[in-house]
Amino acid sequence: MQHRGVTVWFTGLSGAGKTTISHALADKLRSQGCKLEILDGDIVRENLTKGLGFSKEDRDTNIRRIGFVAHLLTRNGVIVFVSAISPYRAIREELKEKIGDFVEVFVNAPLAVCEDRDVKGLYKKARSGEIAQFTGISDPYEAPENPTVECRTDLETLEESMAKVMKTLEELGYLTAE
């Protein structure tokens, strides 16, 4: 598989399936010889943006930093999968303009489904007041108005979501079979 650099930005609520889809796709593309990096929101917060809180300003700074790294990698021919809630539409649009080669994937699942999945127990803590400024509960999530791809993880299988993203990357010329 030949490829061009692109940032594939997976956005959605906690528990929607961003990490699941991005890691499964990354495994598939790496096995086909693609240069690929994953910037996962949780891991970036531990290493690159430690010390930032969850105010709107701190969230915007966090997403801008992730976008900066994604842009550097993208312009050097790497496929970058960003898996981050990135709740504010304006910052995603800002990064789309800066990066250029940008595919926005809205990983969409209803709040109730995300709460049922709640692998990390975060929704339960947010509902009980242990976590303040939690996206979807006490802080807003602004869904993309016109995402490049929408994966409805409550209605489709992982394979179907992966196929949608792969097909889009191929149609846009970022992936081509050798």
Give CA–CA dist 178/165, Å, rounded: 19
Q: Are 108 and 153 in contact (CB under 8 A)?
A: yes
DSSP state of 55: S
Q: Are 39 and 70 in contact (CB under 8 A)?
A: yes
* Enclosing H/E stretch for 40: strand 36-40
Which of the following is catalytic: 14, 22, 83, 86?
Answer: 86
The single-letter code of the amino acid at 16 is: A
Q: Does the annotation count 86 as an active-site position?
A: yes
Q: Which residues are catalytic?
A: 86
